[in-house]
Amino acid sequence: MTILAIETSCDETACAIVKDGVTELASSLATSKELHEKTGGIVPEVAARKQVESIVPVIRDALCSFSKAQAVNPRLVNPRLVNPQLIADLRNIPTQNLDALAVTVGPGLVGSLVVGVEAAKALSLAWNKPLIPVNHLVGHIYANFVDNKEKIEFPAMALVVSGGHTDLVLLKNHDDMKYIGGTLDDAAGEAFDKTARLLGLSKYLGGVLLSNEAAQCKTNSIKGSLPRPMIKDDSFDMSFSGLKTAVRRLVEPQLIAAIPKAAARPEIAREVEEAVVDVLVSKTTRAAKKYNVRSILLGGGVSANSRLRSEMTKEGHKMSINVHYPPLRLCTDNAVYIASAAYFCGKPKPLDKIFVNPSLGVMDKV
Ligand code: KG4
Ligand code: ZN
């Protein structure tokens, strides 16, 4: 079954075509990130306008790569650079080889989501193909199933760690998911972003930069100076909002003076990264043990973090549990995993029953 999926939940516009939930046939993506870096945060109106600008070129690009026609660049499309020749190529698109469409309906920014959902509905009508609504957070979990040479065994414990969410979900099977715990306040990605900003590393998404800074620290001589919130708590809930205040205290001039100057920022970055990863790994492996799972799945932007990947793998192996994480390009937002989630656990719905829902939780049905 071949599914064309559209993802427009935030500042990425993406379209992908995936066979049987696992084989990526085409993928294209445009992002408005650089605009939000200038303003130091996302301006929903700006993101939505960029979605409108990019949606047609991105869909066209995915379709053109699918049909083996020339594509500008299958991974990144700049709408202003789209070759007019591609419009002619569209006439030869073999849409008869597409079985269904899928689209992210939430969570995300309402103005951005509407662009993708309405485009998907229009294509569904024009091509007479069923449309499958997808929860973006479930999508992050399914990034693990794409082009994965290892078989994912159930039951599995999934950790969804993105800029807006941190959730632990038990998958007994594709259609049997249970919420186990998650953050009570800030998401792990938000903790990375806010502390990266405090350290002067970035104004918008700082996770990668903070992680790169941390990599420059050889030994963490301030280990344990930041809290590992709720790590000893019996529940599987987490809390990351206090971390920012604790980091602020750490970067106060008198405290910084106590740390050798050149090492100050990398050391603090390393301690932030270790604090977040310690909590995520401890909660996930404890949940994995309690529910006797055979696999651990990481998903979401923060699953790109190399310390999280390596520490989770190390701890998982101690318990003979296979730890899976997506390739880097499938950690952050894209449409490939939306198609995969649609294939494994989605159901088509009549177009007038498909709605945008900006505040969907990971367990909410769509
Ligand atoms: O899943 P995603 O692309 O967007 C949301 O759905 O939220 O996740 C973005 C988040 C941001 O907070 C970003 O800083 C974080 O993922 N992130 C990372 C890394 N790469 C992205 N955090 C830590 N280490 C990384 N290497
Ligand atoms: Zn996401």
SS3 call for 274: helix
Q: Distance from the CA of 123 to the center of ligand 1, in angstroms?
A: 30
Q: Distance from the CA of 224 to the center of ligand 2, in angstroms?
A: 30
Q: Which of 186, 303, 332, 362 to mutate to test ligand 1, by most ligand atoms within 8 A of the CB atom? A: 332
Whole-angstrom distance, CA of residue 320 vs CA of residue 309: 16
Q: What residues contact 137, with CB distance under 8 A and at least 6 apart?
A: 107, 160, 162, 165, 167, 300, 360, 361, 362
Ligand with minimal distance to 189 CA:
1
Count the Cβ atoms, other than its own, within 10 Å of residue 279.
Answer: 23
Q: From first to last of its 366 residues, what are the pLDDT tens digits of the chain?
A: 999 999 999 999 999 999 999 999 999 999 988 888 888 888 999 999 999 999 999 998 898 888 764 444 444 555 554 555 555 555 667 788 899 999 999 999 999 999 999 999 999 999 999 999 999 999 999 999 999 999 999 999 999 999 999 999 999 999 899 999 999 999 999 999 999 988 888 878 899 999 999 999 988 888 898 999 899 899 999 999 999 889 888 877 655 656 655 458 899 999 999 999 999 999 999 999 999 999 999 999 999 999 999 999 999 999 999 999 999 999 999 999 999 999 999 999 999 999 999 999 999 999
What local confidence, expressed as pLDDT, does residue 156 receive?
98
Is the minimum distance from the CB of 362 to ligand 1 under 6 angstroms?
Answer: no
Mode of pairing for the β-strands spanning 176-182 and 166-173: antiparallel
Q: Distance from the CA of 132 to the center of ligand 2, in angstroms?
A: 18
Length of the chain: 366
What local confidence, expressed as pLDDT, does residue 288 receive?
98
Q: Which atom of ligand 1 is nearest to the CA of 276?
A: 23
What local confidence, expressed as pLDDT, does residue 364 receive?
95
Is the minimum distance from the CB of 164 to ligand 1 under 6 angstroms?
Answer: yes
Whole-angstrom distance, CA of residue 6 vs CA of residue 267: 40
Ligand with minimal distance to 164 CA:
1
Whole-angstrom distance, CA of residue 131 vs CA of residue 105: 11
Is the minimum distance from the CB of 163 to ligand 1 under 6 angstroms?
Answer: yes
What local confidence, expressed as pLDDT, does residue 299 receive?
98
Is the minimum distance from the CB of 207 to ligand 1 under 6 angstroms?
Answer: yes
Q: Which residues in 61-135 belong to E strands, given as ranges?
A: 100-106, 131-135
Is the minimum distance from the CB of 54 to ligand 1 under 6 angstroms?
Answer: no
What local confidence, expressed as pLDDT, does residue 83 receive?
55
Q: In what order do the strands lie in the sheet with 156-161?
A: 176-182, 166-173, 156-161, 295-299, 322-324
- Residue 57: asked if its preceding bond is cis (omega within 30°), the reply is no
Residue 352 burial by Cβ neighbours in a 10 Å radius (0-12, 13-18, 19+): exposed
Whole-angstrom distance, CA of residue 124 vs CA of residue 131: 6
Whole-angstrom distance, CA of residue 183 vs CA of residue 175: 24
What local confidence, expressed as pLDDT, does residue 84 receive?
55
Is the minimum distance from the CB of 337 to ligand 1 under 6 angstroms?
Answer: no
